[in-house]
Structure 1
């Protein structure tokens, strides 16, 4: 209640919020249509008990209710009432209240219009003030641009395509020595000061820029006023009109002559360095030594190709770091002695050369003896910053010494030592076998072997478990594999196997199998092919691993990434549009693609129908479905039964 006039002693309802659970949307609709409610006595009127009790609580015995309708919407009600006595409302009283309610509605509408007008005036004033601020800031930035252009030392220009007129904004005199009256006045005059060797290339680039409406970025030479040429780096951007045509080109030129001269000097130094490196390579090749260089400050090591070939590797097989070398290549008993000697030499400022002997592991799993001679480079404080060295393979020399020493050893103890070594090897092999068995069980790997000469296949226990069969059920393991292989993978897998058996060394393939219970699993199979002296495949040893869960996880991650990508794309497209229909259509299409549905639609309610009527304003539907666009939907029960739940966000 926002206004009232009552008799003395009456109950004031000002600023109260009466609530009547018996009032329904149908009652409110009758008031919106202009109906007046007249009650001479609430005790004799046919009304609900809850409504009757509410009127008593409000100290009302007789009442007259007239609606206040503003712009065809029920704004409120005007109430005239008697407290404790019945009252027969006269026609004049009813018309009076009705006329007053109409005038109140007109006044409210005028007040709303006035308030909206004041808001628009205020917004216009704010916009004008913002324009003034932006103009002031634009003037400040213009001054900053002019100062920055002057301070940058770059030639700044604008080229108007409509009249073929370049405007040299800044630093033309400082860089090229031309005054304003001497600057090129059109494209032809500008091309005259371009170096003859660069003109055709530059002209082609300019034409390409104009044809394709793309920025230009290039380097060429320009002639100064004194006749000398300088190198410039030219960058520009094109300005398009509303029709998409180029009207202006804005760009900068930077003097890069010093950089070009430095690049030329660097190129000569690189060529000279390559020649020196070639000579050094020939010297090292002639000596058959391996060269290495360790940059201590960056902790990076360079190894020559001979370093790798000395150990049986190709240069491209891997990249070594210092810790990798110690852990994987140096013989375990040599690590601590040579590391101590090497660190001692690095810390002693008086040591420049160091020579060490140690063993390195060959690719074929044996060790070779190395004699390493190194030179230590130090800075002005004596700290070691670089070490370069050469490795010489002295394995044959050491072997000769060992053979001589072995001959001098006591021959009588040979058999005993041999037996001890055999026992030791036997224990090592047993330990290795146990570790291998534990590793295979932990990794859930199944092992198989295929003799190609007899076409006989051997499976371990894990293979039978992997394929869901018992060893006693089949005589031939190959039969199990053929029966289990998914029909869609048969041709592909057999082609891979046949090709690999012809000239391959190994294979790694994935395929599906169907278990006896109907489940489908994904298997990764890796095999090594052994060949005879003629190169013919004679045996294959391999392993199988169930990777079904891994593939399913990868697929879920891929689907989640695709869904998130589509959601971001949809959000971005909606934000870039101000047209509601474009937003609706984009949202419907992207959501249908995201959830892979047959139809996604946007339905708009007719609010005057109490949410019982409406129509589809946008949809995305697969081909073959009937469109629901502009289809009128009528459901007399929807507004009463479901609208409140949906309005609450359910």
Structure 2
């Protein structure tokens, strides 16, 4: 037999040709698609190329070689990976050409599906049945026989099959539905009790379908399922439900169910009883609800139900009803939402309880609590309740104002979140003493950290509150803010210090005016006298006028300096702003950078981001610029590297700015009290006027800061400025 290449290529089945030695001769395209074997496999032993094949296939191929014309079979093989593979085959042979033709198919997936179906039927205890109406024969599947407890060789008729059903309603019902199926073609789905061959009573579900030919029923068939466990659970649940109904009635609890998609509400009899209503007086539960719920609570109850569905939470509400007699009663409902497979709200099931007596008791208790609560809330003293873990459970308005926090920010937070860091260990130790019973109350004056980082001074009293059993329930904290008094004392000290400084400045200013103006006045008088005397030649006259011009300019410059000092002193009343220090320094560097480069001075800046000071922008900029230009101006030209560094740091109250250089330095022993005086110079610099540091100190004083200098001749100077920190 010759192999038709076209037939082999297009063969719809995976087929391969083997020679008599079982080596591969040719194969179809579907063979490659089925087993993924391609490439140079022609001439190779088949069972080497296909290593995972059942032994039964080898045996059938040998049988075919021995003379059998055609052999079919199927079997499984376990691979080295413990995988189970199923194959089916058909084998034919050409004796003349000594060729084997093999149709081989991997049926693993189909076999798995078949096994799963059989197993699922066994697990679900679902069997099948069929009734041949004309032959009066009944056929059962293996699962059905297992449920009934009969062997595979048991042959049943309609009568013998019916005998398994419990005598009475169960047998009569099945006989009736079979009769209706045969005569009227009506299918059925019913539940019955059977007695199997072991005498065990079992609940089964029987589904029947009708098959007709020419309008005449010839066959009935369907499903036979063991539902004994489910049915008995259902019956037990029914008993429990009945007992539950009796118990809830005695306890005054009603059960309701709301079908959300259909907008249908069901009440049990207990709810009608709680509301004093008769079920027969209303079309449905919604009509009864509308008739009895208090008008002031109706909208809220409806909205809360919708909110529970939207937010996927339980429905809990307390509301009022009006009974037919006009009595107002309090009810509480609690419902749980059931969700379908798509995540949609399906139903809400809940209970309703009459809490009228409880409500009256709560109202009486609330009156007494409200009086205590009023004292707590309206006290001018800050008050807070702290649990044993150190968390706030309640705070009053005065406590919130004192700390700067909102109530919702404090309640639930730990005292460590608002305590000054230096006091945390002290508070922890104090709580331990309370818990050990060593003390029951404690008062202290301490610092407290406000919301925005401001430090407050407080008088804090902590008292233990105990239960009736003697155990500690919580702590009561009373807080009085004495920050205004502390700050007033601080301001008074500052005012006294400022007054002393101002008196000193005024005295200094008076001396300057007296000395400088008297000098200029005498000089001008003398020059004027020269001019009035006359008798000067042209050269002398011109020289005298030049002297007069210079004296006039000197007077004008002195008046300008004095005016600038006066402006600084009067400018103290300007409103100070928050100033970003790094921004000011960068702006000054932009103005002075060219000068530093020209004088070959390296300036290093280290100002952390976010440092803010309180001041007047023009003053702060002038302070930084004057200190930096002085450092450049009084550099030591004999040194190879001239350096200036500008650095800043901050603590809880102040910001420190250091401007350091390695310049000429100042003899501090000789000039310590003169550094910031007016017209005081320390080097023979032709540009030095002795006014810059005086103005700088005046500006720093006017914004509440301070300046200090450390210097050594030939080493350099560091000017340290203290600014008020912005908080």
The two structures share one fold, judged by TM-score above 0.5: no
After TM superposition, the score normalised by the length of structure 1 is 0.26
- Higher alpha-carbon Rg: 2
